[in-house]
Each structure stands twice: as C-alpha cells, then as structure tokens.
Structure 1
Amino acid sequence: MELNVKIPVIVKQICLELNTRGHQAFVVGGALRDIILGRESPDYDIATDALPERIASIFADAIPYGNFGTMLLIRGNTKIEVTPFRDDAPGRKPHYTFGGTIYTDLARRDFTINSMAYDPITGQFIDPFGGLNDLKARTIRCTGSTKRVWEDPLRALRAARFQAQLGFAIEPSTMYSLKAYASMLDTISRERIRDELSKLITSDHPFDGLVTLVVTGLMNYIIPELMEGMGMRHFNKPADVLEHNLLACRYVKNSLHLRLAALLHDVGKPGCAVEGKKGLEFPGHHLKSVETAKHILKNLRFDSKTIKKVLLLIEHHMFVYSPDSPLSEARRLISRVGWQNIYDLIELRMADRLASGFNEAAGPGLKKLINDLEELKKENSDYKIKDLAVSGKELIETLGIRSGPIVGKLLNRLLEDVIENPELNSKRTLLELAEKYLKEELYEDRHYQ
C-alpha cells in the first residue's frame, strides 16, 4: 500500500499552531486510518504533548470534551479533538496521567490500524505496531497484546464494528480474545453498547460484524433473544431463524430504523414455534416479535421515536398484497402505517424475501403495490379519519347524538367506505351514510335489550 496521507488544511493549521508554540502534534486514530484508506472522515484526532490548560490558551475557542483532557475545536462542519499524550497503564480508569511520548500514547490504543501517528508538518510517520501492514492485509489485530480487549470490554464490540465498517478480517488471536472475554461486555453500559451496535449495523458489511458477535458469544450480552433462533430451522427457508434475521439486516437499505427492524423482524419466532405437517411454523410471530423487540430496544436505551418506527414496521411486515389486490387494499395499508412508513415497509419486505432465498427482491404482488402507490398519490389522502369530509363534531350536531364511543364507531365505518370508494367522500353522502348506520346501531341496541 502506497502511503498517501492527505491531511485537511484546517487540521494541518492546528498542528502548525501547536508546533510554533513549541509542542508536538500528531494526527492519530481512526481519522488517520481512514485517510490512508482513502475514506472520508468528519472528525479528526490530534495527540499532543501540550496539557489541557495550554491547549486552551493557544485556542480560545477550545471546549473541554470527554474525560481524558480532550479539548474540542470546531472548524466549519469538522470536529477536531486535541488530546494530551497519556502515560498511564492502558485500560478504563477514572484517574489518568498526562505525559510520556507519542509512543506510550499509541501503546494504549485498541488495534494496530488505530495505533499509528503522522506529523503533517514534518511528514514523520510513526507505526510501532505494524498498523500499516495490517491495513494492507485488511486485518484487525490487537495493539501489542490481546489483553487490550479485556482492558476495556467494549473493544470487543469495536472489533466487530470495524470489521463491519471496513470489510476486514479479525486476526485469530484477537478473535479468540473476543470469545474468551465475551462475558465482560456485561460490565459495559447499555448506552455504550447501543452506540457501537448502531454503528455496526449501519456499516457497509453488517452481516460480517453480526456473525462475529454470534460466533464469539458477544451477542449473548447484547441481544440474547436473537440467539434463541440459532439452529431453529424453517421448513420453507434456507437459513435458520437467527441467520434469516442477520441476512435481512444485510439486505435492507441502510438506515438505523430499517436495519433494526430487519434484524428483529422475526425475533419472536422462537416464542411461538409449533410443529406443523411440514416442519416448524410460527403463527402470530409478527406480534410476538413486536413484544420482544420492544423489550430489546428499551433495554438498549433507544429513543422512543426510533422504537415506535421499528415496532410499526415489524408489526406490519407480514402484510398480504397480491397481483389481484384492489386499490382499496393499498389504501388500507397506507391508513395503517402512513405514507411516511409505507416505502420502508416495502424495503423491509424485499429484504425479508431475499433473506428467504428468493432471487428477486420484489415479487409480482410487491411490484403491483409499488405501481398502485403511484396511482394513489393522485388522491392526495392519508386515508385517516381526518381526511373525511365530515368531522365528529358535525356528526354530533347533524344527527343529534352525544359525544361518545358511537361517534368514533360511525367515523370508522365511514372511513372504511371511503377507503373502498373515495368518491363517497363528500359531506352530504357521508352524513346520509352516518344516519343510516346510526339507525342500524339503534335497532341492534333495542333488539338485544
């Protein structure tokens, strides 16, 4: 690999400013790794022998950031973290020691590909642990020793995350250490685990990272419910329940809520498996998956907006739409999930199909649904009660009824009528229908008294 280190001008200027004040300054960590790989990075890390107070005196806009003496500089849309060299023993510690050299600082870092340094002023490249060779070999290896993993158990999850982001392989001894100390992940906060998992599944190679979490046992301390599907075979799919979920996450479009929905869309299957004539069947698994996924996402401290969206997609991922389905079925589906979710639901169904062994992401039914949605856009409706030409207040005033459950019942019947035939959506027609339905309700009430 030809060494080509192109440091952005704004980052180089910060290093130059530190240099002119008598301090060393090196670009380090993931930003340097990504620059060498030709990947873009919105954030940069600079390691320096300047202490926090000195950094603050050089840069008036520096903001204290984190727990390790880091000072944050914002330059446009770019974040630059300037951190003093550390000279304490590696690991997670509430107390740490500034000082040492760039070499002692690099020795503390997790993986060799993150343990390189570059001085953009002098051009000096420092690589004491062979990180550049590992970049060439596309390998993730612990810096110095595999004990780097148990010094901070989150590094085990970071290894799988880097694998997912870069498409690299994990070196055997490092892989062994992930498995050997997997149980220590239980000491890490759910928020930190959530953040790493989110980065992993929204990477270019999520399946690779997820498989590493499974085979090392790390998944037992992240989403143990997924592991219950290992070895549970479908009679109509090539993969077991666990692998099917992982594959769906691999195939779905890259956004956090979609990747989460795909990963968890069948997580409830082990809880409702029954033996059928052809093999295991999973009646009502979408509802069980909603229940299980809700617990998982809350446990990982995901925000309520993300949870709500993921659960909605899981709940409706088993929708039926065939080449013979009328437009009313598409309207009904939009009424249930909303225009803002309908295309995500289609994306999830297509990933589900690919993970089930189909050659085409969209079958005849999905293709018709996509075409039908284009037609329905012309109607400019969400197919909700709010889109009806009459309101509950108007029903009360016109029909002389009191506010209560009957009003909601009438509105829902009217909505069903409009979904079947949008031409009925006029105030006069709906009021006539409502009066008819009210008489039917009153008749039934008298009949059963």
Structure 2
Amino acid sequence: MLPQIKIPQDVMEVIKRFKNNGYQAYIVGGTVRDALLGKENFDYDVSTSARPYEIQKVIPKAIPYGDFGTFLYVLKDKRIEITPFRNDAPGRKPHYSIVDSIENDLSRRDFTINSIAYDPIENKIIDPFGGIEDIKNKIIRCTGSSKRIWEDPLRALRAVRFMAQLNFTIEPSTLYAIKAKSPLLETISRERIRDEFSKILLSDYSYEGLNMLFLTNLLNFIIPELLEGMGVEHYNKPYDVLEHNLIMSKYLSKKLHLKLVGVLHDVGKPFCAEKKEYGLEFPNHHEISAKIAEEVLRRLKYDSKTIKKVIHLIKHHMFIFYPEDDLYKARKLVFTVGWENIYDLIEIRKADRLASGFPQAIGPGLSNLINKLEILQKENLHYNLKDLAVKGDDLIKAFNLKPGPLIGQILSYLLDEILKDPSLNEKNILLEMAKNKFLPQEGGNLNENRFNK
C-alpha cells in the first residue's frame, strides 16, 4: 500500500482559489509521485484549466516563468509552479498549445510515474496510464508509447536519473527506446546534459545509474573518454579501468566535485598504459587524467570553481604517505594541497582503495596521516607563505635587498624550516636564519648562490 498523499495547507489554498474562480486545478507530476513515495517536497507543480492571463488574475503574486505559460508562486518555504493544461511541441521547443482536460495534459508527460494528477479538495486521483501501479512495482515506463521518450531526447537521461534516485527498474520497451535512439542525445545542449548527469551522480544509486548510462550507450555521448578504459586491465585490481572509475561513485559522499573526481580520476590511464612483465603500468596517469578531466568538464559547461577543484584533487589523488612518515611530511602535504582539500583527498583515497578491491578503506599509511592531521589542527597554521612571521618587505629592509627572485627563495627556505618546526615562526628567529643561510661569514650582502648549497 502506498501512503496517503499529504499536501500542505498553503498549497491547498492555491488549489481552492482556482476552484473558487471556476477553474479546475490539480497537483501533478513529480510532486504526486514523491508524495505517494512518502518523500518530503518543497516544490509543487499545479496544472489548471485557467489560461495564462487568468492564472495571474487568480494568483496576482505569481510571476511568468519559462516559455510554457508557466507561473512561479514563491511562498516562505515552498515554490509552486502553475501551468495551464497544455500539449508540448516535439522536442520541447518554446511552443505549446492549450488543451481542455487534465487527461490530455497528462498524456504529454514523459513517464507514467509522472503522469498522475491529484485533486486535494475532492481527494481524487487521476491516473489514466497506470502510474500508481508502476510506482508500486518500481517501474519506469514511457507514457503512452516508447516514442514519447524521444520527443525530448533528454528524457533518456531523466529515465536513468529516476532509476538512480528511486532504485526503480526501466521496463524493456522504454529501455530499448533509450538505447536504440541514444545518438539523438547529441541534439541536446551541453548544459541540459550536465544538469541531468550531475543529478545522476548525486543520486542514492549513482553507480547503478552510471552503469545504465554505459549499457544504453548514453555515456558515449556524455564522456566518451571513459569508454577507452573498457577492457584495460589492472594487474593489481579485480576491475578494468572503466569499471574502477564507475565503481568509485559507490564510496564517495554526495558532493558533486567528489563524484566528478571519482568518475574521472583515472580516465587518463588508457592513454599512458605501458605493458610490463607483470601487467600494465600507468605512469603519470594522474596528470593525464587531470588534463582530460578539464576538457570533459569544460565541454559539459561546468563552472570554473568546480573544474578547478576537481582538477586539483585529481592531480594530487596519488599522494604518498607512509606509516613511518613524520609531522614534517604531513605539513608538506597540507602545504601542497591545502587544508581545504586534504580531507577530500583522504575520502578519495579511501574510495579508491575500496574500488580497487581492498577489504579496508584505511591502510597503515592513511591511518598515520589522519592521526598526524589531528595534531596539526592544533597548530592553527595553513602552512603557506602567509603564515610566515617574516614578509618580503621585512627581508628587503633588514638586508638592504632589492625586490626579485631571491626574496621568494628565502621565503620558501624559511617556510620549509617552519614546516619542520613551527616554533621557529617568530620574526627575529626567521631573520637570523635567513642571515645565517645566505649571508657570507665575512659580512656583506646576501649571497644568492648559497641558496643551492
């Protein structure tokens, strides 16, 4: 038995206002689906017999939204999209026609689970395509005909997204239609593809979603570079490169940049594979993967902040930390990757181990690093040049220097020294260290050549 549909009172009031003015009005689409599944909702879709100009008369604070006669009504903690009964043009171009019944409106929707309407005033459900039964059986099925999915090729990705979010199964006819017409995905904008792909990555069953993208050939029109890893075997992992990349999604938290790292962290391996006596090696694969990942993310129109974050993490995901490494090595690592990234890298390493067949996420070296980081947090330093008690101007004044490369060399030397011992980070001590390192014993100016000794 599915739970009863519960609609908030302020949303009920919107329905009442339409009915009191002589119009039909229903809660529709994903809102009904989620309510039947017992999921909390903050976005509500209302479909009404009112025309667009009539909608605004009934709900004066509603504002035009999009190209389909839709209006948006924003409450304190909810968004209500109000749309007239309509029939969309194929391809969901900015063209639609008004229809006279809720049944006609439901017939143009993508999947049966989204083609349900609910009248909360009369407590009446309209389900002409068997959506409730498909929800009970956890099935994703095209509304009316499998051709429905290719009226807008993005619906293929939506089918996979619903599968990944709800843990549903795509029924055979719909699945066949997705695979048979997968090349039509090329007609969809990169931004729309990006948005659906991101939702798949952030779903509860993202790994299953990624596998479905592969099995339906959709992945070939999103990140074809990943397919190069199919059949490229690791000598020390039970999975090939493609599956290893996809399976990482199982073990990463729901943060978009982490999920993208998981999918793309080893994408460069097939392009640098070298056959050795015991199997394939992938020298410098993290650098090559970062370069390919950047191309992929720019092609999919991800924002620059996300791209920068993902590339940085991929470049450093092969960091090394041994069980015997000391605090200096831990500080050097934090200096290299930043505090803002170190725990992401630890999560990536843990996921990488599990996706490589290791029974435990944390090995001795990683355990040592985690323990060392707990100690370093108490030092309250970022381990970069801004932390130094001495600045470039201090060196210039103290030693009568001119601005130039030597200043940077001295500061780098001093930073490395405080990575070994943060207690040295006092202005007088650092100036004395600079003097002893670079100033000849007989006096005079700083000697740049001594830096390399």
TM over 0.5: yes
Query: Which residue matches 2:207?
Result: 207
**Alignment-derived partner of residue 150 in structure 1:** 150
Percent of counterpart pairs with the same letter? 54
Whether the 8 Å CA contact 2:244–2:355 is kept in 1: the answer is: yes
Paired position in structure 2 for 1:72: 72
Q: What is the alpha-carbon distance in structure 1 between the residues aligned to residue 219 and residue 182 of structure 2?
A: 9
Note if 1:442 corresponds to 2:447: yes
**Offset of residue 2 of structure 1:** 3.2
Q: CA offsets, 1:9-43, max 9 Å, x none?
A: 12111111111111111111111101100111221
2: CA distance between counterparts of 1:447 and 1:239? Answer: 46
Specify the alignment match of 2:61 in structure 1. Answer: 61
| Cα distance change, pair 90–188 in 1 and its aligned pair in 2 (3 A) | closer
Once the two structures are superposed, the pairs formed by residues 199-348 of structure 1 within 5 Å of their partners are 199-348=199-348
**Aligned twin of 1:426:** 426
Q: CA deviation at 1:51?
A: 1.1
Confirm or deny: 8 A CA contact 1:286 1:315 kept in the other structure. Answer: yes
CA-CA distance at 1:149 after TM superposition: 1.6
Q: 1:446 to 1:308 in 2, by over 3 A?
A: closer
Matched AA of 2:315 = E
Aligned to 1:359: 359
- For residues 25-174 of structure 1, the aligned pairs below 5 Å read 25-87=25-87, 91-174=91-174
The structural deviation recorded for 1:99 is 2.2
Offset of residue 103 of structure 1: 0.7
Q: In 2, distance between residues paired with 1:133 and 1:426?
A: 72
What residue number does 2:400 align with?
400
The AA in structure 2 aligned to 1:408 is G
Give the counterpart letter for 1:356 in structure 2: S
SS in structure 1 of the partner of residue 277 of structure 2? coil
Distance, in Å, in 2 between the alignment partners of 1:314 and 1:214 is 22
Contact 2:149/2:156 (<8 A) preserved: yes
Q: Which amino acid aligns with 2:348?
A: L
Judge conservation of contact 2:91–2:153 (CA < 8 Å) in 1.
Answer: no
Task: Please say if residues 26 and 48 of structure 2, whose CA atoms lie closer than 8 Å, have aligned partners that are also in contact.
Answer: yes
Q: Hey, what does 1:390 align to over in structure 2?
A: 390
Q: Which amino acid is the alignment partner of residue 291 of structure 1?
A: K
Q: Secondary structure at the match of 2:80?
A: strand
Is this contact kept in 2: 1:90–1:108, CA < 8 A? Answer: no
Is contact 1:89–1:108 with CA below 8 Å preserved after alignment? Answer: no
The 8 Å contact of residues 91 and 148 in structure 1, kept in 2 or not, is answered as: no
The 1:300–1:234 alpha-carbon spacing in structure 2 relative to 1, beyond 3 Å, is same
Deviation, structure 1 residue 442: 2.8
In the superposition, relative to structure 1, how do residues 348 and 210 fare at CA in structure 2: closer, same or farther (>3 Å)?
same
Distance across 2 between alignment mates of 1:335 and 1:398: 27
d(CA) in 1 for partners of 2:420, 2:36? 59
Closer, same or farther: CA 419–3 of 1 in aligned 2, 3 Å: closer
Inter-CA distance 393–88: structure 2 relative to 1 (3 Å threshold) = closer
Q: TM-score, normalised by structure 1?
A: 0.97
Once the two structures are TM-superposed, the CA of residue 309 in structure 1 deviates from its matched residue by 1.0
Of stretches 108-117 and 429-438 in structure 1, the one that deviates more from structure 2 is 429-438
Which residue in the other structure is 2:10 paired with?
A: 10
Is the CA contact (8 Å cut-off) linking 2:2 and 2:37 kept in structure 1? no
Letter in 2 for 1:339: W
Give, as a single letter, the amino acid of the residue that structure 2 aligns with 1:240.
D
Task: Give the whole-Å Cα distance in 2 for the aligned partners of 1:446 and 1:335.
Answer: 21
Partner SS, residue 228 of structure 1 = helix
Tell me the amino acid that sits aligned with residue 442 of structure 1: N
CA RMSD in angstroms comes to: 1.7
Task: Give the Cα–Cα distance (whole angstroms) in 2 for the partners of residues 90 and 418 of structure 1.
Answer: 65
Alignment of structure 1 residues 368-387 onto 2, 5 Å: 368-387=368-387
Q: CA deviation at 1:198?
A: 0.8
TM-score by length of 2: 0.96
1:112-149 Cα distance to aligned partner (Å, 9 max, x none): 11111100011110111111111111111111111112
Q: Secondary structure at the match of 1:38?
A: coil
Q: Which amino acid aligns with 1:376?
A: L
- CA drift at 1:329: 1.4
Q: Secondary structure at the match of 2:4?
A: coil
Q: CA deviation at 1:360?
A: 1.2
- The amino acid across from 2:132 in the alignment is L
CA 1:446–1:94: 2 relative to 1, 3 Å: closer
Aligned residue for 1:80, secondary structure, equals strand
Q: Which runs of 5+ in 2 are unaligned?
A: 441-445
Deviation at 1:447, TM superposition (A): 11
CA contact (8 A) 1:392 1:411 kept: yes
Q: Residue type of the partner of 1:275?
A: K
CA contact (8 A) 1:12 1:121 kept: yes
What's the CA shift for 1:58? 1.2
Q: Which amino acid aligns with 1:36?
A: L
Question: What one-letter code is carried by the residue in structure 2 that aligns with 1:276?
Answer: K
- Given that 1:248 and 1:351 are in contact with CA atoms closer than 8 Å, whether structure 2 keeps it comes out as yes
* 2:443 alignment counterpart: none
Equivalent residues of 2:409, 2:451 under 8 A apart? no
Relative to structure 1, the CA distance from residue 302 to residue 447 in structure 2 (aligned partners, 3 Å threshold; closer, same or farther) is closer
Between 1:83-92 and 1:118-127, the stretch displaced more is 83-92
* Number of residue equivalences: 448
* Pair 1:97–1:197, CA change in 2 (3 A): same
Report runs of 4+ in structure 1 exceeding 6 Å deviation. Answer: 445-448
Q: 1:134, 1:198 → 2: CA distance?
A: 25
Is residue 417 of structure 1 aligned with residue 422 of structure 2?
no
- CA shift, 1:438, in A, is 2.8
Contact 2:89 2:95 in 1 (8 A): no
- CA-to-aligned-CA distance 1:254-276 (integer Å, 9 cap, x gap): 11111111111111111111111
Call closer, same or farther: CA 1:418–1:446 in 2, change over 3 Å.
closer
What secondary structure sits across from 2:98 in the alignment?
A: coil
Offset at residue 180 of structure 1 (A): 0.7
